[in-house]
Amino acid sequence: MSNNNPYLPPSSTDSAALPNATPQRLADLPNRCSWGSGFSWIKEGGALFFKAPGYLFTTFIIYFVVIITISMIPLVSILTQVFGPMLTAGLYYICMTLDTQDQRKYRFLFIGFQQKVKPLLALALIYILGIIAIVAVVGITMALLVGVDQLNADQLSRFSSPDAIANNPPDPILLVYFMLAILMGVVLILPLTMGIWFSPALIMLNDLPARQAFVTSFKGCSKNVGSLTVWGVGMLAITVVAMIPLGLGLLFLPAISLCSLYISYKAIFLKPSDDEPE
């Protein structure tokens, strides 16, 4: 008897029947989209979501259950950083198959554990090493500016919350340095975020190695700072609206956000299809 459980990861026996993960070819260079494209991505992403809202909603329930379960297990929670790109690649794969072939199978969420495993693991390693490097740079800079003797538990505890700062103010100079450290961390993490942003999609859907996917994602984000900013503002507005009816709209927001990101990936990185104008 064949096993048709849609929640199971695809097995090696049916991998040949999986939809093609390269529906369109990459553009030679990332496309530059107009600022208004950010709103178009949200609109088209919403249309893709409403093509199968129940399917996408359930997919995200499974996704969050997997992530939360892993994060609750001691000594295993670190794997959320390792498995994150693999599951994200599966989410993009689900969008691709729904968009191009109208296929709806929950097992596609786990495609990253079978296909493109090495580059996705390499991407996770790039991200983890990037975070470690940023923390090290910020920490060393703080130590050099303030002095190691000032970075004791008592001083650091004063930055644990706004109430702690108000009730037990730290040294003003230390506070300035602390704010500069936060600013430095934000500046350093932006390039890492830009490189990671579309990398799971580029690896899974276009078969790029991890390093090339990271560089390509960074270039695509760099050329579309305006449109991605508009997209972010639009999604923020939708989030506020979604909170009004008892927050029920927030249940569907992750799926809509993913669909709009998939649309932005197509607009930025893929060549137009034959029936679209160049």
State the Cα–Cα distance between residues 9 and 62, nearest whole angstrom.
12
DSSP state of 51: T
Q: Give percent above pLDDT 90 in the chain.
A: 58
Q: Are 16 and 115 in contact (CB under 8 A)?
A: no
Predicted confidence at residue 6, as pLDDT, reads 40
pLDDT of 229 above 90: yes
**For range 197-201, the mean pLDDT:** 97
Taking 70 as the threshold, does the pLDDT of residue 165 lie above it?
no
Is it the case that residue 278 has pLDDT exceeding 60?
A: no
For residue 164, the surrounding DSSP H or E stretch is: helix 162-167
Cα separation, 199 vs 162, in Å, equals 36
d(CA 239, CA 245): 11
Single pTM value for the model:
0.83
Percent of the chain past pLDDT 70, that is, above it, reads 80
Q: How far is CA 123 from CA 3, 47, 126, 210, in A?
A: 32, 30, 5, 5
pLDDT higher than threshold 90 for residue 174: no
Segment 164-175 mean pLDDT: 66
Has residue 249 got a pLDDT over 90? no
Which DSSP letter does residue 107 get? Answer: G
Dist. CA 79–CA 29, nearest whole Å: 33
Residue 213 contacts residue 121 (beta carbons within 8 Å): no
Cβ neighbours around 187 below 10 Å, total: 10
Domain spans, the chain: 50-115, 123-198+210-222, 224-269
**pLDDT band, very low/low/confident/very high, at 103 (cuts 50, 70, 90):** confident
With CA atoms as reference, report the closest residue to 268 among 209, 204, 207, 199.
Answer: 199
* pLDDT over 90 at 21, yes or no: no
Query: Model confidence at 164, in pLDDT bands (50, 70, 90)?
Result: low
Q: What is the pLDDT of residues 141-157, one digit of tens each?
A: 877 776 655 565 555 65
* Torsion angle (degrees, nearest 10) of CA 142, 186, 247, 237: 150
Question: Tell me, what's the pLDDT at 109?
Answer: 93
Q: What is the pLDDT of residue 214?
A: 98
Mean of all residue pLDDT scores within the chain: 84
Q: What is the pLDDT of residue 57?
A: 95
pLDDT at position 275 over 60: no
Measured CA to CA, the distance from residue 160 to residue 146 in angstroms comes to: 18
Highest mean pLDDT, choosing among 104-108, 162-166, 259-263: 259-263
Express each pLDDT in 39-90 by its tens digit.
999 999 999 999 999 999 999 999 999 988 888 887 777 788 888 999 999 9
